[in-house]
Amino acid sequence: MLAVETSCDETAAAVVRDGREVVSSVVSSQIALHAVHGGVVPDLAARAHLEAIGPVVDEALAGLAGGWDDVDAVAVTRGPGLAGCLLVGALYAQSAAVARGLPMVGVSHMAGHVYSAWLSDPSLEPPYLALVVSGGHSDVVALRDHGDAVRLVSTRDDAAGEAFDKAARLLGLGYPGGPAIERSAAAGDPSRYPLPRTRVAGAMSFSGLKTALRYTVRDLGLTALTDEGTPRDPAVVHDLAASFQLAVVDQLLHSLATTADRVHATRIAVVGGVAANSALRAAVQQHFTGLPVTLPPLSLCTDNAAMIGAAGWQRLRRCGPDLPGIAVDPTLDEYA
């Protein structure tokens, strides 16, 4: 199966055999393009996908001796994401599938994240509980069976990845915020600036934490801030980054742990871009010592097409191919 992913700012293609063997996985990142703007600019992202998608697919197909002739089916992300970006991938994949007479399926990006755990761990099968943490989502999802997923917990405001991006701007650490916060936090003391942990029954919330960080920075005083309003002392930046990261990790772990207890989970997975955070990975492994825990490799945490191939293989097996002309859905709320 050839899989294509263009939901946001990564142009990705992969070849996956039988849903679990990754033959090739290619990702073209747009980080440098968007970093100067402090975040993803949708129009720029869509144009970059148009330029990159052909070469990226060609590189992914280089892993097959027969190239396109060895492709049996095509999967593509149809949502959620940025509309213009989704259209580039969906139109490319559908055109290729129709031209070559191949079956094709549209896949949820979030289902891809849930299946990144299944893809990376040969022993993993449903049911399992997944903490899905990314730039746009912070959810706890139960994959009860292939094709049967239910969201049990979600955030009421910012997602964890979005909160990291905003915190990084407050601290002058640049974009993308998650890796920048993690690098800075490694040199910081998380106890120097205690930040709140929001507790909402059956939900998560990061807006109060973000506001607390803003007020903490403000209260440092004008002499302690740069002209841009960020802390002048690198040690203060490191300590605030460490405190913020710890507060985010604590809330994510709390939501996952309480949900796991409530539903009597037997297996745990942590997926999505924020699942690449080393502090979160360590906290989950330390807490769930009595349960099997799947943490995909970093290459499968961030946006990639291999996970779309895994989810697409399952969807094609269960539901058969989609008819040509599938519509993208920027707000798609689907996990299987």
pLDDT at 91: 97
**Could you tell me the two tokens for 241?**
């980054």
pLDDT tens sequence for the chain (336 residues): 999 999 999 999 999 999 999 999 999 999 889 988 888 999 999 999 999 999 999 999 998 999 999 999 999 999 999 999 999 999 999 999 999 999 999 999 999 999 999 999 999 999 999 999 998 899 999 999 999 999 999 999 999 999 999 999 999 998 899 999 999 999 999 999 999 998 888 899 999 999 999 999 999 999 999 999 999 999 999 999 999 999 999 999 999 999 999 999 999 999 999 999 999 999 999 999 989 999 999 999 999 999 999 999 999 999 999 998 899 999 999 998
DSSP codes, 208-277: HHHHHHHHHHHTT-GGGB-TTSSBS-HHHHHHHHHHHHHHHHHHHHHHHHHHHHHHT-S-EEEESGGGG-
- The DSSP bridge partners found for residue 269 are 130, 294
Q: Using CA atoms, how far apart are residues 1 and 3, in angstroms rounded to an integer? A: 6
What is the full DSSP assignment across 271-309?
ESGGGG-HHHHHHHHHH-TTS-EE---HHHHSS-SHHHH
Contact 114, 124 (CB under 8 A): no
How much is the pLDDT for 201? 86
pLDDT for 36 equals: 85
Helix, strand, coil % in the chain, rounded to nearest 5: 45, 20, 35
In the chain the domains, ranked by start, together with CATH numbers, are 2-112+300-319 (3.30.420.40), 125-295 (3.30.420.40)
The C-alpha atoms of residue 233 and residue 169 are separated, in whole angstroms, by: 15
